[in-house]
Structure 1
Amino acid sequence: MEIKEIAKLAVEALEDVKGKDIIELETSELTDLFQYMIVCTGDSNRQVKALANSVSVKLKEAGVDIIGSEGHEFGEWVLVDAGEVIVHVMLPAVRDYYDLEELWGGEKPSFVPTGAKPWKAE
């Protein structure tokens, strides 16, 4: 199975469990460790765990080896490592704090609710 197909399956698995702000970054120019990084937000610890589990199950069913998975204990940030494709599923505050998109060349999603103004220190 091609790497791009694996990334597509992972995104579909996240969409199946209503993951939010799904971003797929091609990282082959930036690192030799993996070719795609997918970042997704879940609304609760339970949903974060369910999103990561959905990715693992869907990829395993397609014959993709899951090298590892971390973060299930607390469900704030769960990583699923499928070799050339890695998936980060995070709570909004954790995703906002670590800002993986900016580190890896993507655009950061806005976590400000519609119609609300961002808080600014005076």
Structure 2
Amino acid sequence: MSKAEITLEQLETLLREALEDIKAEDVVCLDVRGRTPMTDLIVVATGRSTRHVASVADSVADDLREHGIRPLGVEGQPGSEWILLDLGDAVLHVMTPEARDFYRLERLWSVEEHGEAAQGGRD
């Protein structure tokens, strides 16, 4: 299956399977279609250490390449607490537990789902 043939749901399945294979933890997939023009799916996963974060990102990229999907970009380096894979239709964030707890990306993107208004600090 090539990138041209893959649906967002299939990409999500490939990501989930690749993350499970490398033992990433606490995988969350957020459908952000209609909320941002930058991507349709945000996937957040935890690696147990900076070394595991790098291994997860590398392994997922390798698995996706086998399906003809190449990352458009990678941010972060081995030893980083956070590595991002830009896949176009999806963005994968792999983070240490400490970075994930600090940045709380799921909360940023799920505010509308919980019925709260994003006020941006206005009173």
TM-score (norm 1): 0.82
CA RMSD of superposed structures (Å) = 1.5
Provide the rounded CA distance (Å) in 2 between the counterparts of 1:47 and 1:81: 19
Q: Percent identity?
A: 39
**What is the one-letter code of the residue matched to 1:102?**
R
The Cα of 1:77 is off from its aligned counterpart by 0.1
Offset at 1:74? Answer: 2.6
Q: Distance in 1 between matches of 2:78 and 2:58?
A: 13
Matched, 1:62 2:63: no
Which residue matches 2:25?
A: 20
How big is the shift at 1:96?
A: 0.5
Cα 1:47–1:73 shift into 2, 3 Å: closer
1:8 shift after superposition = 1.3
1:50 aligns with 2:55: yes
Write the mapping of 1:1-122 to structure 2, written as runs, cut at 5 A.
1-105=6-110
Displacement, 1:30?
1.0
TM-score (norm: length of structure 2): 0.82
Match in the other structure for 1:120: none
- Alignment length (residue pairs): 107
Kept after mapping to 1: 8 A contact 2:50/2:78:
no
Unaligned 5+ runs, structure 1: 108-122
User: Aligned equivalents of 1:14 and 1:72: distance in 2?
Assistant: 18
Deviations 1:15-49 (A, max 9, x none): 11111100000000211110100000010111100
- Consecutive unaligned residues in structure 2, runs of 5 or more: 1-5, 114-123
| Alpha-carbon separation, structure 1, partners of 2:55 and 2:70 | 19
Find the aligned partners of 2:83 and 2:38 in 1 and give their Cα distance: 18
Please identify which structure carries the higher helix content: 2
Distance 1:40 1:6 in 2: 15
Deviating 4+ runs (over 3 angstroms): none
